[in-house]
Chains A and B, each alone.
Chain A
Amino acid sequence: MSYSITEPSNGQKWIAGTLVILYAVITMIPLLWIMMTSFKTPPDSISYPPKVFYEPSLEGYVNLFTTRTRVSPEKLASLPPPANFAEEIVRNRDMVIAGPSKFGGRFLNSVIIGFGSTFLSIFLGTLAAYAFSRFKIPLADDLLFFILSTRMMPPIAVAIPIFLMYRKLGLSDTHLGMILLYTAVNISLAVWLLKGFIDEIPREYEEAALIDGYTRFQAFYKVVLPQAATGIASTAIFCLIFAWNEYAFAVLLTSGTAQTAPPFIPTIIGVGGLDWPAIAAGATLFLLPVMIFTVMLRKHLLRGITFGAVRK
């Protein structure tokens, strides 16, 4: 039998594979539990011992998107038959739907702020990284260090000044304010990561385009950007994950119009205790956009996350 000394043996592959799968399963359990809880009824969600097998219910999702009021049994009997499955679920708990909850709006805020700041970080970060990579900039190294140094303290350390500043500027509880804040935090990471990726694109590509009749901006747009796609995708995911999950500033700076989902989800409280299925449903839906975004960019990500080590 022929074998290669650099290729791991079958036994080694087996052990490595088993370890990776085991690790993946262990890290997936909490996520899986959240998803399972979101499809439980409130009694099932707090039963002891915990139920692994149960009859799935959409009650958590219904509760997540609605507000409900309790009514007397006589009133309930006098109502016309329920118009849809949501009303039916709610009436089984002696309640009626009073209106939509705030979750939809909060979720939309998260989408606007998360993707908005990611787009802005990448847009500005790519231009800055290109400039640092290609042009002779006076004090370039010092500037780059300065950009990185904004990351050296935890952002929350400047929470109070930012809070006061935002109040003065009228940016508190606005989409723009949150987009600018998350962009400011993310941009240093974006510039550094993207500079690394752009440094690896040979200059000859742009030079060839310049000679072939393109302007520098066109060369950047048509030649550099497509080749930096891998780096841009992985940087975008890092930025999105930060902005999407950020909790502390969201609690501090938003309460109404621009509140994002993370500070909102824990406030979902049912009648007589925490409504775990509704919270789990909120968490499950909250996970989806980042998951979808990551899966969409997966092809780029796998290559990008190794930071160029195994490119080409």
Chain B
Amino acid sequence: MAEVILKNLCKSFSRTKAVVDMDMTIPDGSFVVLLGPTGAGKTTTLRLISGLETIDSGEVTIDGRVVNEETPAQRDVAMVFQQYSLYPHLSVRDNLAFPLRSPILKTSNQEIERKVAEVAEKLHITSKLDNRATELSGGEMQRVSIGRALVRDPAVFLMDEPLSSLDARLRADLRIELKRIHSELGATLLYVTHDQIEAMTMATHVGVLQEGRLVQFGTPRDIYEDPESIYVASRLGLPRINILPAALFTSTSGMADTIGLRPEHVEYGVGQDASVKRVEHLGDQTRLHLDMQGYNITVLSPAGNPYSAGTTVKIQPVNPLCFDQSGNRITGRDA
């Protein structure tokens, strides 16, 4: 287990700047989630750390060692890919044993057997050990991929959207297992996802990427409650944060140009009129789609679901997030 430090890391592909001046410290034993839309540079960041891409400029340090010049094999990292990391020509057992048989680890057969059995048990794939990798369901394949990383004892685990190809239930199960494995091993983990539930439930730290830059790094709670920009605020929260002109509400004042309204920032029964356009029952929550002077606002219905489509409701923002013209956050003091 080890700390990973990125210093001024840059990487371009011909004309695209995939990673720009990235500084990030991934503390020993942390579970860091990288968030960002497609193309933000998440995968490239992982590949730079693992050594699959060469570094244009900057430094990657793993466990106190600058690894810029090292091959992927020497860096002592394990990586789980979004797909395609199981070898279709090998059995599940041989897939799990593959990293242990590498010339770097040269594990004894006894030890291989023990570790494979242990990891298979942990991931509930013991009964599938003798199957071919192609005979597994998507969820099982992804467990084996994760297992291939777990059989080793690497300095850091890198995972690139490992659960994104799975259905919701499997994702929920594996999420819990991953979190458990992380706390059991005390491993350092860098994890890429689009899924905010994964980010919120598993991460000790979240890094938000925008066009190759790390725009905010902090605990999931920091990122959710205290975002530095509209971009960061829009990464987390379901339903998504509503970005509205500050002038829409008479109650908001100060220098704010726009406000960000999360469902919990709305008080019902006071303030201004909005018409209910649609009510969505999602089971555990009910969403209201409101229209206020031509702006759409999505909020959660108060307990008891008193509103129905076509009615009018009074709402008022309570401590919303305030942003200036360029989308940066204005905090309480200077708001």
Contacts and interface: CB of A to CB of B under 8 A. Distances in A.
Interface stretch (B97-105, B176-184, B299-307): B97-105
Given A214-B103, A215-B73, A227-B89, A209 B98 contact: yes
A199 interface: no
Nearest to A218: B103
A218 B99 CA distance: 12
A204 interface: yes
Interface of A: 202, 204-205, 207-215, 218, 223, 226-227, 229
A279 to B, nearest CB: 45
A226 B89 contact: yes
- B interface: dominant SS: loop
A208 B103 contact: no
Interface string B53-76: 000000000000000000111010
B103 A213 contact: yes
A226 B132 CA distance: 14
B89 A212 contact: no
B275 interface: no
Contacts of A223: 87
A208 B90 CA distance: 14
B73 A204 contact: no
A227 B88 contact: yes
Contacts of B233: none
Interface stretch (B77-85, B121-129, B290-298, B327-335): B77-85
Interface size class on chain B is: 20 to 34
27 contacts: A202-B84, A204-B84, A205-B87, A207-B52, A207-B79, A210-B52, A210-B71, A210-B72, A211-B51, A211-B52, A211-B72, A211-B75, A212-B73, A212-B98, A212-B102, A213-B73, A213-B99, A213-B102, A213-B103, A214-B73, A214-B102, A215-B103, A218-B103, A223-B87, A227-B87, A227-B89, A229-B89
A210 B105 CA distance: 13
Contacts of B88: 227
B152 interface: yes
Interface in B37-53: 50-52
Contacts of B98: 209, 212
A269 to B, nearest CB: 52
B235 interface: no
B148 interface: yes
A208 to B, nearest CB: 4
A208 B102 contact: no
Contacts, number: 58
Contacts of A214: 73, 102-103
A208 B85 contact: yes
A212 B99 CA distance: 5
B79 A211 contact: yes
B103 A211 contact: no
A208 B73 contact: no
A209 B148 CA distance: 11
A255 B88 CA distance: 48
B108 to A, nearest CB: 16
Interface in B99-138: 99, 102-105
A211 B305 CA distance: 53
Contacts of B79: 207-208, 211
A139 B50 CA distance: 29
A213 B104 contact: yes
Interface core residue of A209, A212, A215, A218 (most chain B CB under 10 Å): A212
B148 A212 contact: yes
Contacts of A210: 51-52, 71-73
Contacts of A226: 87, 89
Given A205-B84, A218-B103, A211 B89 contact: no
Interface core residue of B51, B84, B103, B148 (most chain A CB under 10 Å): B84
Given A211-B50, A213-B103, 16 more contacts: A204-B81, A205-B87, A207-B81, A208-B79, A208-B81, A208-B85, A209-B98, A210-B51, A210-B72, A211-B72, A211-B73, A212-B78, A213-B105, A214-B103, A227-B87, A229-B89
Nearest to A202: B84
Interface core residue of A207, A218, A223 (most chain B CB under 10 Å): A207
A214 B99 CA distance: 8
B85 A205 contact: yes
A211 B78 contact: yes
Contact of B77 (A209, A211, A227): A211
